[in-house]
Amino acid sequence: MTQYDMREALTDNELVLQARAGQAEAFSVLIGRYQGRIRALAAHYIASRDDVYDIVQDVFLEAFRHLDAYDLDREFVTWLRSICRHRVMNHFRRSKVHQSALQSLINDALVEKVERLEGKSDDSLERIEALKGCVKKLGPKHKQLIYLRYHAHAAVKDIAENLGQTAAGTSMLLHRIRTILARCVERELAREQL
């Protein structure tokens, strides 16, 4: 039985105490134990696989650096989750500056799609403006999906893999988003005609 295998049998707190005492291998066991859960939590909020992996790495680095601050009365995984949520919020704060650029790219991609489907008819501009307004109403995750599919031209399979979902599930979600957008556009156009 290896040292790693023996450590696998230890509790989280025992591993934390060993890591605090300078045994970095004990922290490696904790990483192996919880990396998947923390990655799933980050991926729930963030679509980019690279960003998810960066956040997970940052979570464990921060946890390692602040092991002395960890309260042994708490569950270790709960502490990791709180660090992860903090990192995700920081990611969104940093990317908020980029959100208006992202919104612009989404709008451009959708406009291009509408123009290809409908040509440049007179009511096309009204439809495009309605579509832009409807896209703004989408949540961040749905905006991200629209961006990946229609601006970045990512394949559904790749988007699904990035989100940790099945291609069929992602395709269905994109279909629902398109349906939501189509209904919203029709409502907006009907409102303008009143």
Determine contact, residues 53/39, Cβ cutoff 8 Å: yes
Q: Which class does domain 3-92 fall in?
A: mainly alpha
**Structure confidence at residue 120 (pLDDT):** 47
**Structure confidence at residue 125 (pLDDT):** 63
What count of Cα atoms within 13 Å lies in the side-chain half-sphere of residue 103?
16
Q: Which two tokens stand for residue 153?
A: 């031209």
Reading the chain (194 residues) residue by residue, the pLDDT tens digits are 555 566 778 999 999 999 999 998 999 999 999 999 999 988 887 878 888 999 999 999 999 999 999 999 999 999 999 999 888 888 877 765 455 555 555 655 555 554 454 444 445 567 777 888 888 898 888 888 887 887 777 788 888 887 788 888 888 888 888 888 888 988 888 887 66
| Domain range list for the chain | 3-92, 97-193
**Structure confidence at residue 110 (pLDDT):** 56
**Structure confidence at residue 55 (pLDDT):** 93
Cα–Cα dist 21/25, whole Å: 11
Q: Which class does domain 97-193 fall in?
A: mainly alpha
Q: Which two tokens stand for residue 87?
A: 């990192």
Cβ neighbors of 28 (< 8 A, separation 6 or more) are 4
**Structure confidence at residue 131 (pLDDT):** 83
Determine contact, residues 91/51, Cβ cutoff 8 Å: yes
**Structure confidence at residue 36 (pLDDT):** 93
Cα–Cα dist 83/48, whole Å: 19
pTM of the model: 0.51
**Structure confidence at residue 30 (pLDDT):** 95
**Structure confidence at residue 140 (pLDDT):** 86
